Structure 1
Amino acid sequence: MRTVLDLLRLLAGRADGDASDELDRVAAGLAVSDPEAGALALRIRSVMDAGRRRESELTALVEIARDLASESDTGSVLTAIVRRARALLGTDVVYLTLYDADRGDTYMRVTSGSVSRRFQTLRLPLGAGLGGLVAASRTPHWTGRYAGDPRYRHTEAIDTAVGEEGIVAICGTPLLVDDEFVGVLFAANRSARPFTPDDAALLGSLAALAAVSLVQTRRLADTADALEALRGAHAAIAEAADAHDRFAGVVLEGGDVGDIAEALGRLLGGWVAVLDLDRTPVARYGPVPAGLDVAAALRRAEDPSGRPVVVPCAGGTWVAPVVAGGQRLGTLLLGGIGAEPDGAGAELSPGQIRTVERAAMVAALVLLFAQRADETDRRDRADGLAELLAAAGSPRTATLTRLAGLGVSARRPHVLLVCRCHPARRRALAREAATLGGRSGLVGEQDGAVVVLLPGDDPTAAGARLARPASEQDPDAHVTVGAAGPFRPAGGAVAALAEARRSVEALLALDRAGESAAACDLGFAGLLLGDRPDVAGYVAGILGPVAEHDARRGSELMRTLEAYYAAGASPTRAATALHVHVNTVAQRPERIGTLLGPDWQHPDRSLEVQLALRLHRLGSSGRGS
C-alpha cells in the first residue's frame, strides 16, 4: 500500500492524459480501503481535466487568431471576436464596447445573442456600471448577479438596458495593447450562473487577441488611407511645383505682390486680395466682395497649422497667413473659385491648397524684402529728420547734403507736423505720413509723437490730412496734429518744432483731440504759443470784415463794438457814449452779426473779439504816435 501511495504522489505532480484510465481504476479501488489514497486520485483526475480543458481552449484561441488574421476590416474583426467568444465560453450573450476618446466613455459596438435595441445602443461612462469600472480601472471584473451588486455604480440608463436584455451575470475584461485602452469585452448570462477566475482568464485571452487584431486592422486601414493620400499628395505637389515656378518667374521678371495676386487669381479662376498687418490692401485681383468680413477672415488666419482655412461668408472665402522667417507680414484672401449659382464657393483640391500656400510663401518673401528696404529707407529718413531737428541754428553742410540725398530741397518752403496718437497706432501713422511726402518728406518719432516734414506752404491743410477723431467703434483712432510753417529747412527747424509741439499740446488742453491746427488757427491761444506772433494777422482775421465794411460804407461799426463792450454789452449806455439814439445802437449788432458770424456774442468768441479790439486800438495808438 505504501508503494501505491508513493506512485499517487508522483502522479499528482506529473499527471498527464495517458494516466487517466489507470487513475480511475486506482481511485475506485482505493477509495474504500484508504481515504487519503482516494482523495489523491480525485485531485490528480481534476488536474488532468483542467489540463485537457486548457489545451482545448488554447487550440480554440489559435484557431480564433487564425480567423482574425484573415479579416481585413474592423467590422468583420469585431463580429468574429464576439461570435467565437460566445461559442467558446458557452454564454448567452457576448458584447464589445469601444473607447471614445473625444467623449471620454465607451459605446456598444457589436453584440452576439442580444435582443434589446436599447442594450445594443448603450453608452457606458467611465466608472459607471461593471463595464465603466473595467474601463476606468483597466482590470477585469465579474459578478454572478449584477442587479443590486453594491460594488458597481448603478445608473438608470445602464440598469434599464441590462434589465431589458435580461442579463443577470456579467464578466468583463479590458482590451489593451501596449497600455493603450481600446475597449471592453463582455460575456453575460441570463441566469445566476457565476463566472470563475478561469472564465475571466479565458475572456482576457480573447480580449488580448481582439485588441491586437483590432489595432492591426486599424493600422492597415490607416496605411491604405495614407497610401491613397500620398498618391493625391504627389499630384498636388506636382501641381503646386508648377505654380511655384510660375510665381518665381513673376518675381524674377521684376513683379511685385500685385503680379503674384494676379497670377494666383488666373490659376484658380477667382479673386485675390493681399492685406498688410493693418488690414490695408496692398494688392488685389478680380472683383473682391465689398461686404467681405475681413475681421472674421483674419481670425481664421490665426490657425496654428498655417494652412489656408475656410471662412464662412458669401461666395466661399479662403484665407492664408503670409509668413516669412516666423514673422507675420500679412494675409492672403481669395474666393469666387468655382462659385455655384447660389454663391457658395467650391472646395479647394489638395493641389489648389498647395498652390495657395506657395503663393503666400512667395508673396511673403516679396513683402519681406520690400519691408526691409522700406525699413532701411524709413530709418535713414528718420535719422535725417532727427539730425535736422537737433541742429541749434542753421544745419551744417553735411546735414544739408544728407537731406538732399533723401530728396529734401532744404531751401524750399516746408511745413512741420507733430502728431499725437495712441502708442499702438504710431507705426501705422508713420507709414501713412510717409505716403504724403513721398520721396521728398521725412518722418520720425520723437518724445512719443510722430514728427513729419513735408514740402509746402500751408501747414493747416497738411495737418488736416493726418488728423482724425476717435469713434465709438474705435476710441483709440484719434490723431491730433500741431502744425508749423512755412519755413526753409536750410535755416533750421528748431523753432518750427517748438511751435508745432505747443499747438498740439494746446489742442489737447482745449479738449480738441482729433483736430489739427497751427498757431494762427488757435486764436488768442496761438498768439501765446506762436514763436513769431502775427498780431496784425490775428486782428485782421477777427475784425477784418468789420473794418472793410466801415471803410467801404463810411459806417462806425468798429466804434460801436468798442462802445458796446466798454458799456458792459448795454445798448443804452453804449448809445450815450456814442451820442446816438439807443435804437441806432440796437440795430447795429444785427449788421455786426452778419459780418462776424452769429456766434460773435458767445463767451469764447466774444473774448476773441474783445482781444482783437484791444490789440487794434493799441496798434492804432502806436501808429498815431
Structure 2
Amino acid sequence: MTDAAGPGGEQDGALRLLALLADDATVAEVAAVPAPAAARELAVRVAAGREVHQRREAGLSALLETARALASESDTAQVLDAIVRRARALLGTDLTYLTLHDPDHGDTYMRATDGSVSAAFQSVRLELGAGLGGLVASTRKPYWTADYWNDERFVHTSDIDGAVSEEGIIAICGTPLLVENTFVGVLFAANRTPRPFTREEVALLGNLATLAAVTLVQTRALADAESALAALSEAHETVRQYADGIEKAAAAHDRFASLVLGGGGTEDLTHALADLLGGWAALVDEDGTVRSTTPGAVVPEEFPDLRAGRLVTRDGVHGLAVATGDEHLATLYVGGTSELTDADRRTVERAGVVTALVLLFERQAADSRQAARNRVVAELLAARGPAQDRVQLVRTTGADPEAPYCLLVLRGDATSSTRALALSASAAAGEGGLVGVQDGDVVALVPGSDAGALARSMATRVGRRGDVTVAGVGPLTGVDAIPAAHEEATRTVAALVALGRRGEGAAATQLGFAGLIVGTDPDVSAYVAHELGALLDYDAKRGTDLVGTLAAWFAAGRSPRHAATRLHVHVNTVAQRLDRVGALLGEGWQEPERSLELQLALRMRDLLAAD
C-alpha cells in the first residue's frame, strides 16, 4: 500500500479515513485506505480502541443479561446449567464446564457442562494442583493455554489427561469462582482446536465466574432458607399436632375421670372410648365373654400377641390387653376408624388403664360381697343359733329359704381357682341364689326343685374354662336340712369323680345303685322304679311277666334255654319276651354297667316284697 501523492490525494485519504471511522469500519478496513501513514496509523488506533470498547460493552451487556437470567432461577442445578450455557455463547468456544469444590475430599468435581460429549470427562474429579483446573483451584487465579498438551506449567495426571483426551480438548481457559475469598469452584471454556485466549476473554470469563459464584451462593442460601422454613413449618405442625394430642388426651382423661367418679362402670367407659375415637369399642373378659360393646363392634375370635399397655393392630382392629401386673383381666378392642393417631393410641391405652382400675374396684367389691356370703354359708352348714335367725341371715343376701331350692356342691379340677369358680357360680345362680366357699368346694343354694337339672346346668355354665363337677340335692325348704344336704352333695360329687363322670352334674338319685350309697335317706323304691319302671308298668297293664323273665334269664347265666326250663315255657317264648324287654329298656341294657344296675334293682325288689 502507498501513501496518496499530492495535497489533494492526502486530503482525500484523510476524508476517507474519517468516513470509515464514522461508519464504524473495522481495523482492517481502515488500514487498507491509501492515506498518509501518520493519519492512517492514528485512524487504526481509533478503530482498534473503538472495537475494544465495543467488545467490552457487548461483554457488559451480556453480563447484565446473564445476571437477569440467573436472577430468575431458584434451583441450583438450573443456575449452574445456565452459567455454562451463557459462557459458551459469550466466548464462542466448543464447550464450557464448571467444577465445584468438595471440602470433604479436598478436590473439585464436575458439576455442569455444555457442549461435552464424553461421559468420562463429565464425571472427572480434579485434585488441587493437578491439571489446569487443579492449578486454578489451588492458586485461586485464572490460567489459560492455547495448547494444553504441550504446556509444561500444568501437572499432567493419567485420570485428567485421559478425560481431556477423550473430550478432544486442546485450548483451555479456567477462572476461579470466589465469594469474599471463599473458593467455590472453577469455570472453564475450552476448544478442540488450538486457540489463544485474549485478556478480554479471560476477563469476561472471570466476570462470569464472579457472577456465577455470587448467584450460586445466593441460590444455596435461598435453598437453605426454604429448607429451614419447611423445617420450621414441619416443626410447627408437629407442635400443633402435639398440642392437639395433649388437648385430646386431657379431654379423654376428664371424660374417664368423671365417669369413674360418678360411679360409671366398664360399659360406660367402652361407650365413652367409642365416642372419643368415632368408631366402635368392645371389652371382652379373659374367658372370651363379651362384657360390654357398642353398635357396629366386630370382636375377633383370635387376636395374638396382645400385650398389656400396648396397642396391637390386626386387619383394622386394635387390641389392648387390660391387665394388672401379670394378671390378664380383659381385652379392649377398638375399630371402625381410620388409622389411629398417636393421640388416639394414647387415648386407648389410657382407657385400658382406667378400665383395669374399674375392674379391680369391681373385683374388690365382689370379693367383699363373696366374703360376706361365705360367712353366711358357713353359719348355715354349721347350723349355729336358732333357725329363725339363720332364715333372717339368708334373707339379708336376697335369697328366700322358704321357697323351694336345691343345694349344689361344685368341685373344680386341679387348675381351677376357687375364687373364680365362686364368682362364676354366683353369676349363674342369679339374684335369688346364695353362693359360698366351704373346704375348697363351692356351695350354692339355687331356687328350683329339680336338683339334677340345676346341677347339669351349673356344670355347663361354669365349666367353660375347665371341668367342674356339680352334685345337687333337693328340693329343700327352710334351713334345718342344709347340713345333711351338704354332706349328701359332698358324697355325691366325690362319687361322680370316682365313677369317671368329672365335669358332669347330677343328683344322687341319678347315680343308680351308687346313689343309694351316697344318699342321706336312700329311697329303694324310687331306685327300683327308676330301673324297672318300664317293665313293671308293661306287666301291670298286660298281665305279662317280663320282670320275672328278666330275673330268670339273669339267674340262668343269661341262657334263654335254661331260663325257659326255670319258667316252664318254650325257649322261643323267652326269646320273644327278652326282645320286648330290650325294646322297653332301650339299647345297651345288656352292657355290664346297666346290667349290674338291673340285677341290683331286681334284688332290691325281692327284698321290698319280703318285708
Question: TM-score, normalized by length of structure 1?
Answer: 0.57
Q: CA offsets per residue over residues 547-601 of structure 1, 9 Å max, x none? A: 1111111111122122222222222222222222221111100011111112222
* 1:467 Cα offset (Å): 2.0
| 1:596 counterpart = 2:585 | yes
2:390 is paired with a residue whose SS is helix
Partner residue, 1:383: 375
Partner residue, 1:102: none
Distance verdict in 2 for CA 1:564–1:470, change over 3 Å: farther
Are the equivalent residues in 1 in contact too, given 2:415–2:466 (CA < 8 A)?
Answer: no
Counterpart of 1:498 (choices 472, 487, 495) is: 487
| 1:440 counterpart = 2:429 | no
Partner residue, 1:53: none
Distance verdict in 2 for CA 1:508–1:271, change over 3 Å: same
* 1:284 Cα offset (Å): 0.6
Q: CA offsets per residue over residues 51-102 of structure 1, 9 Å max, x none? A: xxxxxxxxxxxxxxxxxxxxxxxxxxxxxxx954654xx9xxxxxxxxxxxx
Q: CA offsets per residue over residues 269-311 of structure 1, 9 Å max, x none? A: 3221112343422111123325x14441xx3223xxx24x232
Distance verdict in 2 for CA 1:222–1:614, change over 3 Å: farther
Q: CA offsets per residue over residues 242-262 of structure 1, 9 Å max, x none? A: 233344455566543223222
Counterpart of 2:403 (choices 402, 412, 417) is: 412
Counterpart of 1:273 (choices 279, 282, 285) is: 282
Partner residue, 2:451: 459
Partner residue, 1:263: 272
Partner residue, 1:574: 563
Partner residue, 2:544: 555
d(CA) in 2 for partners of 1:440 and 1:469?
17
Are the equivalent residues in 1 in contact too, given 2:390–2:479 (CA < 8 A)?
Answer: no
Partner residue, 1:449: 441
d(CA) in 2 for partners of 1:114 and 1:280?
75
Distance verdict in 2 for CA 1:571–1:332, change over 3 Å: same
| 1:421 counterpart = 2:412 | yes
Counterpart of 1:286 (choices 295, 305, 311) is: 295
Equivalence map 1:510-529=2 (5 Å) = 510-529=499-518
Distance verdict in 2 for CA 1:526–1:226, change over 3 Å: farther
Residue identity (%): 44
Partner residue, 1:318: 318
Equivalence map 1:92-131=2 (5 Å) = none
* 1:429 Cα offset (Å): 2.5
* 1:390 Cα offset (Å): 2.3
Q: CA offsets per residue over residues 120-151 of structure 1, 9 Å max, x none? A: xxxxxxxxxxxxxxxxxxxxxxxxxxxxxxxx
* 1:436 Cα offset (Å): 2.2
* 1:227 Cα offset (Å): 7.8
Partner residue, 1:336: 336
* 1:435 Cα offset (Å): 1.3
Instruction: Using the TM superposition, name which of 564-573 and 243-252 deviates more.
Output: 243-252
2:458 is paired with a residue whose SS is coil
* 1:442 Cα offset (Å): 2.1
Distance verdict in 2 for CA 1:226–1:528, change over 3 Å: farther
1:418 is paired with a residue whose SS is strand
Equivalence map 1:87-486=2 (5 Å) = 87=106, 229-251=238-260, 255-289=264-298, 292-296=300-304, 299-302=305-308, 306-307=309-310, 309-312=311-314, 314=315, 316-322=316-322, 329-337=329-337, 346-391=338-383, 396-426=387-417, 427-468=419-460, 477-486=466-475
Partner residue, 2:574: 585
Partner residue, 2:117: none
Distance verdict in 2 for CA 1:619–1:512, change over 3 Å: same
Partner residue, 1:193: none
**What is the one-letter code of the residue matched to 1:538?**
Y
d(CA) in 2 for partners of 1:604 and 1:113?
100
* 1:413 Cα offset (Å): 2.3
Distance verdict in 2 for CA 1:558–1:293, change over 3 Å: closer
d(CA) in 2 for partners of 1:249 and 1:578?
86
Distance verdict in 2 for CA 1:268–1:576, change over 3 Å: same
Distance verdict in 2 for CA 1:355–1:381, change over 3 Å: same
Larger radius of gyration: 2
d(CA) in 2 for partners of 1:320 and 1:347?
16
d(CA) in 2 for partners of 1:506 and 1:236?
62
d(CA) in 2 for partners of 1:413 and 1:222?
78
**What is the one-letter code of the residue matched to 1:437?**
A
Are the equivalent residues in 2 in contact too, given 1:414–1:489 (CA < 8 A)?
Answer: no
* 1:455 Cα offset (Å): 1.8
d(CA) in 1 for partners of 2:282 and 2:302?
11
Are the equivalent residues in 1 in contact too, given 2:286–2:331 (CA < 8 A)?
Answer: yes
Distance verdict in 2 for CA 1:358–1:445, change over 3 Å: same
What RMSD in Å do the two structures reach over aligned CA positions?
Answer: 3.4
Q: CA offsets per residue over residues 155-189 of structure 1, 9 Å max, x none? A: xxxxxxxxxxxxxxxxxxxxxxxxxxxxxxxxxxx
Q: CA offsets per residue over residues 324-374 of structure 1, 9 Å max, x none? A: 79976433110121xxxxxxxx32112322332343344344333333222
Are the equivalent residues in 2 in contact too, given 1:420–1:504 (CA < 8 A)?
Answer: yes
**What is the one-letter code of the residue matched to 1:276?**
D
Are the equivalent residues in 1 in contact too, given 2:428–2:462 (CA < 8 A)?
Answer: no
Equivalence map 1:529-544=2 (5 Å) = 529-544=518-533
Distance verdict in 2 for CA 1:323–1:621, change over 3 Å: closer
Counterpart of 2:534 (choices 535, 538, 545) is: 545
How many residues align? The count is: 394
d(CA) in 2 for partners of 1:450 and 1:225?
63
1:410 is paired with a residue whose SS is coil
Structure 2 regions of 5+ residues with no counterpart? 1-100, 108-123, 128-229
1:417 is paired with a residue whose SS is strand
d(CA) in 1 for partners of 2:569 and 2:436?
61
Partner residue, 1:100: none
Distance verdict in 2 for CA 1:390–1:228, change over 3 Å: farther
d(CA) in 1 for partners of 2:396 and 2:268?
31
1:287 is paired with a residue whose SS is coil
2:520 is paired with a residue whose SS is coil
Distance verdict in 2 for CA 1:114–1:237, change over 3 Å: farther
**What is the one-letter code of the residue matched to 1:355?**
T
1:300 is paired with a residue whose SS is coil
Are the equivalent residues in 1 in contact too, given 2:435–2:442 (CA < 8 A)?
Answer: yes
d(CA) in 2 for partners of 1:248 and 1:286?
23
Distance verdict in 2 for CA 1:585–1:360, change over 3 Å: same
Are the equivalent residues in 1 in contact too, given 2:453–2:506 (CA < 8 A)?
Answer: no
Are the equivalent residues in 1 in contact too, given 2:387–2:480 (CA < 8 A)?
Answer: no
Question: TM-score, normalized by length of structure 2?
Answer: 0.58
